[in-house]
């Protein structure tokens, strides 16, 4: 018995859809990309990865054409427990990450610490919905009402909600990822949701070289620049972060399967909660806020535990249960942060503890009662 961190979500339908695209020879960004964007939601812009989605969102919010744009030197509050490419687009655009601690129960950004960390240069917050667990959406709404730009990193949280609002519905921007090991996949893929049509058009311009081919209505640009070939009219800086038709074709099939994937993840998470609840004296699991989409199943070994996280992980791995660190631990402790201006608020002791003593196991559509029972038996043999 092996309990993997993830099992592939795609099957014959996705393979057939990809082959159909290949046979058509229409493989670069086109109609299927547009169809996926429409099915995902209003003002959705598909790109080639979740990391690229974060990059596009920050590039748009700092762009010279954006009203009240974020400026170099502005501070953006981020959670210590985050992924590297949540933070890198900030420093790449001259913004200053302000790293704050987490709530040890939910693993999400600590709202009380956020309020204390805010200063005269604070312009934005970029929270991560950690492992599919929704952040405090009411708190984010309050900050937004106060003029703080909110960028929701939903890359681990597709399908999660606070009970009323899906993640991504509060922020000025929201980003999603469709990497191989995520809730649904295009193998690689990402998406940004903007609040307005104008901002989604800017995202499309930045996504593809700075040209105007892909926006809703480029007639004003074409009229102003009649002397330039309309197929190669560049009105801004840009990247090449486009998704392919193959990715979109797979994604359309995956969207139809997503409700089932989420239901299984939630079923497995509830079963794993029952297993690990027997070890509350030595272990802590993530307290669910709203309706998590359970990207994985996080476990933190308590400071008072007679065993270490290393010992427990070795025991699980030796018995066929794969483990991994929770995101990248405390981003403030990663050596690359020394290269870039940033500010650390407080001692980050909770994020440090998660980095030192936390890990996750699988919680996905490929698991069921048999895998959960194997975890239960292996934990019992540990004798904690």
Contacts of 90 (CB under 8 A, 6+ apart): 58, 76, 78, 96, 97, 126
C-alpha–C-alpha distance, residues 100 and 80, integer Å:
6
Q: Which among 24, 37, 44 has a CA at the least distance from the CA of 246? A: 24
Sheet with 190-194, side-by-side order of all strands: 44-47, 190-194, 173-177, 149-153, 122-126, 75-79, 96-100, 343-344
Q: What is the spatial distance between Cα 86 and Cα 300, in angstroms, rounded to a whole number?
A: 23
Please give the span between the terminal C-alpha atoms of the chain, in angstroms, as a whole number. 22
Q: Check if 209 is active-site.
A: no
CA distance 327 to 156: 10
The CA-atom distances, in angstroms, between 66 and each of 42, 69, 188, 192, 220 are 20, 5, 29, 16, 18
Could you tell me which of 159, 174, 154, 184 has the C-alpha nearest to residue 42? 174
Q: Which of 29, 2, 9 is nearest to 249 (CA)?
A: 29
Token pair in block for residue 112: 């009380």
Rounded Cα–Cα distance for residues 155 and 160 (Å)? 11
Q: Rounded to whole angstroms, what are the CA distances from 318 to 120, 168, 282, 299, 312?
A: 51, 38, 20, 17, 10
In sign, the C-alpha dihedral spanning 99, 105, 107, 108 is: negative
Q: Which of 43, 182, 353, 364 is catalytic?
A: 182
Tokens linked to 243: 């998704």
Phi, psi of 34 (to 5 degrees): -65, -40
Task: Tokens for 276, please give them.
Answer: 């690990």
Q: What residue ranges in 87-138 does DSSP mark as E strands?
A: 96-100, 122-126
Give me the active site residues, please: 182
């Amino acid at each position: 018995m092996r309990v993997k961190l993830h099992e592939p979500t795609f099957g014959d339908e996705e393979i057939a859809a990809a082959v159909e695209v290949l046979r058509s020879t229409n493989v670069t960004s086109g109609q299927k990309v547009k169809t996926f964007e429409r099915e995902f939601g209003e003002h959705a812009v598909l790109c080639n990865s979740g990391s690229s989605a974060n990059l596009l969102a920050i590039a748009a919010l700092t762009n010279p054409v954006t009203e009240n744009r974020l400026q170099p030197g502005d501070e953006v509050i981020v959670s210590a427990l985050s992924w590297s490419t949540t933070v890198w687009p900030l420093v790449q655009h001259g913004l200053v990450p302000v790293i704050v601690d987490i709530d040890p129960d939910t693993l999400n950004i600590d709202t009380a610490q956020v309020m204390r960390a805010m200063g005269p240069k604070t312009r934005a917050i970029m929270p991560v919905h950690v492992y599919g667990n929704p952040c405090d959406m009411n708190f984010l709404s309050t900050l937004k009402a106060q003029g703080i730009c909110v960028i929701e990193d939903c890359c681990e949280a597709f399908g999660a909600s606070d009970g009323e609002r899906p993640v991504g519905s509060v922020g000025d921007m929201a980003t999603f990822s469709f990497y191989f090991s995520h809730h649904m996949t295009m193998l690689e893929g990402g998406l940004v949701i903007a609040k307005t049509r104008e901002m989604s058009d800017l995202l499309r311009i930045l996504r593809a070289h700075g040209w105007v081919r892909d926006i809703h209505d480029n007639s004003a640009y074409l009229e102003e620049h009649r002397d330039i070939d309309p197929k190669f009219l560049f009105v801004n800086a840009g990247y090449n972060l486009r998704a392919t038709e193959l990715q979109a074709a797979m994604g359309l099939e995956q969207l139809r399967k997503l409700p089932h994937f989420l239901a299984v993840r939630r079923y497995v998470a509830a079963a794993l909660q029952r297993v690990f609840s027997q070890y509350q004296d030595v272990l802590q699991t993530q307290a669910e806020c709203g309706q998590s989409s359970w990207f994985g199943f996080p476990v933190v070994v308590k400071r008072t535990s007679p065993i270490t996280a290393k010992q427990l992980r070795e025991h699980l791995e030796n018995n066929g249960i794969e483990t991994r660190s929770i995101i990248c631990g405390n981003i403030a402790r990663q050596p690359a942060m020394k290269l870039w201006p940033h500010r650390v608020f407080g001692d980050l002791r909770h994020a440090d503890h998660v980095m030192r003593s936390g890990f996750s196991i699988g919680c996905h559509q490929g698991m069921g009662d048999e895998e959960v029972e194997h975890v239960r038996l292996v934990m019992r043999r540990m004798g904690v």
